[in-house]
Structure 1
Amino acid sequence: MDIILTRRSIRKYTGEQIPEPLIKDLLAAAMSAPSAQNQQPWQFVVVNQPELLKELSKCSPYAQMVDKAPLVIVVCGDTHLEQAKGFWVQDCSAATQNILLAANQRGLGAVWVGLYPREERVDIVRNILGMPDHIIPLALIPIGHPAEAKEPANRYNPAKVHYNKW
């Protein structure tokens, strides 16, 4: 529970590089997410080139921290791998959350920058990274060693819980 409850959106990073074995661990966490019919309709683009990070930071008004991160993982849905139509969004969202939790567990900071369903953001990222049409970027996840600390947030709200019926 501590990893879940202490996860926060971290947007400031020291710039220290993330070693390849740690990147692989984050991706293994992503690929361990549940998916409809075990279809695993995800693809991932690991971006660590500064010029690409700078371009990606302009894809959304909420992506300004991207060029300050040493690493971004782009979580994408692959419609060619989709068996349960439309469930790629849920599947890739579960993979995204797993990356965020694994990053927190490893002492890294990360934040979910949504792209899909905003077509203009999807198109910008597709163009920057040269993605084919059947690949849909869902989110950018900037990751780095945190240069900020945030206290855990208690977001439990009993007013949003309903038992048996509304």
Structure 2
Amino acid sequence: MDLFEALHTRRSIRKFDPNKQVSDEDLNKILGAAMIAPSAGNAQPWHFVVVTDLVLKEELSRIHPYIGMLRDAPMGIVVCAELALEKYPGYWVQDLAAAVQNLLLAARGLGLGTVWTGVCPIQERMDAVRRILQLPAGIEPHAVVPLGWPLQEFKLQDRFKEERVHRNGW
């Protein structure tokens, strides 16, 4: 798939085929794409927790008002930061946002659906993910990305707004 097609047809998918699994090969391609994202000082502070367990998916779906679709997705990817890997403290949020965006686009390129559900910066959600997945100290959850074969259409979108472009100042 062309990069611009992936960019313009990527959308949040909230309906997944619960009977069709994601192959390990596709999962590794998607995670590999996430891991080539830019990061401050090339620190690459990310870790990815792949959740396929039905009980864990159910528990995670309860901690966030917009993540119920995780129940039907074959898996969720919890994107986390290892703070000890940071070279420039505080930039982990941006680093992981870039990794999530790469993950979303790679999944779209393979025909898979995703939806980015933010956990950070809401401390209550972060603490719940940490508890459910038994994350060690120094690991911060950033987002949960349900992943699977979509039961929704991908549609071309153009959201370009000339009035939002400013040159050489406001």
TM-score normalised by length of structure 2:
0.95
Distance 1:126 1:59 in 2: 11
C-alpha displacement of 1:87: 0.7
Equivalent position SS for 2:103: helix
Partner of 1:159: 163
Instruction: Give the count of matched residue pairs.
Output: 166
Q: Aligned-pair distance for 1:150?
A: 3.9
Alignment partner, residue 97 of structure 2: 93
CA distance in 1, matches of 2:60, 2:89: 28
Q: Secondary structure at 1:65's aligned position in 2?
A: helix
What's the counterpart of residue 15 of structure 2? 12
Matches within 5 A, 1:10-49: 10-15=13-18, 16-49=20-53
* Identity of matched residues, %: 47
Runs of 4+ residues over 6 Å off in structure 1: none
What letter matches 1:87 in structure 2? Y
- Answer yes or no: is the 8 Å Cα contact 1:112–1:139 preserved in 2: yes
Correspondence 1:1-166 to 2 at 5 A: 1-15=4-18, 16-166=20-170
Gaps of 5+ in 2: none
With structure 1 as the length reference, what TM-score do the two structures score? 0.98
Query: Pairwise CA RMSD of aligned residues?
Result: 0.8
8 Å Cα contact 1:8-1:152 kept in structure 2: no
Of 144-153 and 104-113, more deviation after overlay is shown by 144-153
**Ranges in structure 1 where 5+ consecutive residues have no aligned partner:** none
- 1:156 and 1:77 map into 2 onto residues whose CA distance is 32
